[in-house]
Amino acid sequence: MAIGLGPLPEMLPVNGFRLGTASAGVKTPGRQDLVVMELAAGCRVAAVFTRNRFCAAPVLLAREHLQEQAPRYLLVNTGNANAGTGERGLRDARACCEALAERAGVDAGQVLPFSTGVIGEPLPVDRIRAGLPAALAALSERGWAEAAAGILTTDTVPKGASVRLQLDGGPVTITGIAKGAGMIRPDMATMLAFIATDAALPQGLLDQALRDAVRYSFNRITVDGDTSTNDACVLVATGAAGVNLSEEGSPGYRHFVAALADVCRTLAQAIIRDGEGVTRFITVAIEGGATESECEAVAYTIAHSPLVKTAAFAGDPNWGRILAAIGRAGLDDLDVNGVRIWLDDYLIAEQGGRAEYYQESEAAARMAREEITIRVDLARGGAEATVWTTDFSYDYVRINAEYRS
């Protein structure tokens, strides 16, 4: 059950960027599981990848291809991550790129591969190869919704965001899709996200815009603390709108970056709202820290605590568990008497214990909501950090205990 996620918004097409989705039977026969994205000549591409040391073959190859040539195609399959597959995995990923390149009349180095799904199974290259004609035939600038569905694994709903900005040079569109839903935490998790814009940016600014947007969106979400071998987030700028954003300080660039950050945050939060077994969408907001990094440490310690997460599942305002998590977050000189904790706007703990006017019924009413904010004031500085996470439910266990069977 996804929390607060409606149907996809209107997915505005991005001139110069086409998507085609098909069924290749990678894991489940009949399932739409193969997505090809076509970039018009002259597009610029920025990408960030997982920092897991065991990164998957497609990640290794996509990184390599990005360094060599301007990409013309993105090739995405779900159902199989092509991770933990050693040398064979690299050969398989390369074979898929070659098959697409041959049909499309480009170099194999102009294809970036992406895979998500089960780890450690050989990629069924023949099935992917056989699915390519249908995916290519389906290419359309209006193919976003099908692609959003075609990249999912254990997600229950497709995730997308789309905005149109009015800049000085004219209108600019940003449209993106993403998938989760387990093995999520900072450093890019098991997540895939593809975002396109028709604005034109020089490579350096495009890279920087993506890094900044990812930092406070995809890198601030966690389901279970497990990072994945396959995470990737790609931003394509087609330039087709004829709007040039080449000055870092310009109002246009700043407007664009803010909108891109919004799109990324919407997609990142959608991943959490549809996290495995989720019954609550939890915002952990830390303020009053000495540094941003210590705020992050506290936020993630709370967000990863199985005891906090099971209490949230139960709708139990068990502030003692929040307090214990703060206490083990590594802030050795923390003055525990200064710390205050709120559920939404309701003060529940202060001076090392329960807040003076605390009422269990008031706290329980807030913890029972589908969307909860745990706010903590560390009272030792002006830094802050916010992360988004899920609760821990029976369904989380069920989904991850049954995933391979």
Q: Does 325 bind a second copy (CB under 8 A)?
A: yes
Question: Quick check: helix, strand or coil at residue 135?
Answer: helix
From residue 253 to residue 292, the character string flagging contacts with a second copy as x (rule: CB under 8 A) and all else as - is ----------------------------------------
CB of residue 317 to a second copy, shortest distance in Å: 9
The residues with which 167 forms a beta bridge, in sequence order, are 170
Q: How far apart are CA 54 and CA 376, in angstroms?
A: 35
CB of residue 153 to a second copy, shortest distance in Å: 13
Q: How far apart are CA 319 and CA 342, in angstroms?
A: 9
Q: Does 334 bind a second copy (CB under 8 A)?
A: yes
Catalytic residue among 175, 190, 279, 283: 190
Q: Does 293 bind a second copy (CB under 8 A)?
A: no
Please say if 190 is a catalytic residue. yes
CB of residue 279 to a second copy, shortest distance in Å: 10
Question: Quick check: helix, strand or coil at residue 137?
Answer: helix
Stretch in the footprint of a second copy (CB under 8 A) among 207-215, 253-261, 284-292, 303-311 = 303-311
From residue 44 to residue 83, the character string flagging contacts with a second copy as x (rule: CB under 8 A) and all else as - is -------xxxxx-------------------------x-x
Is 260 or 367 the residue whose CB approaches a second copy more closely? 367
Q: How far apart are CA 66 and CA 308, in angstroms?
A: 41
Residue with tokens 């992917």, as numbered in its chain? 128
CB of residue 88 to a second copy, shortest distance in Å: 7
CA 165 to mean position of chain CA atoms: 23
Q: Does 225 bind a second copy (CB under 8 A)?
A: yes
Q: Does 394 bind a second copy (CB under 8 A)?
A: yes
Tell me if 355 sits within 8 A of 363, measured CB to CB.
Answer: no
Q: Which of 155, 202, 186, 227 is nearest to 44 (CA)?
A: 202
User: ∠ CA 281-286-292 to the nearest 5 degrees?
Assistant: 120
Tell me if 136 sits within 8 A of 36, measured CB to CB.
Answer: yes
User: ∠ CA 2-4-10 to the nearest 5 degrees?
Assistant: 100
Sequence-distant (≥ 6) Cβ neighbours of residue 353 within 8 angstroms: none
Q: Does 181 bind a second copy (CB under 8 A)?
A: no
CB of residue 307 to a second copy, shortest distance in Å: 5
Is 262 or 316 the residue whose CB approaches a second copy more closely? 316
Q: How far apart are CA 393 and CA 378, in angstroms?
A: 29
Residues of the shown chain interacting with a second copy in the complex, contacts defined by CB under 8 A: 51-55, 81, 83-89, 118-120, 182-183, 187, 224-229, 304-307, 310-311, 313-314, 316, 318-321, 323-328, 331-332, 334, 336-337, 349, 351-354, 392-394, 396-398, 400-405
Residues classed as catalytic: 190
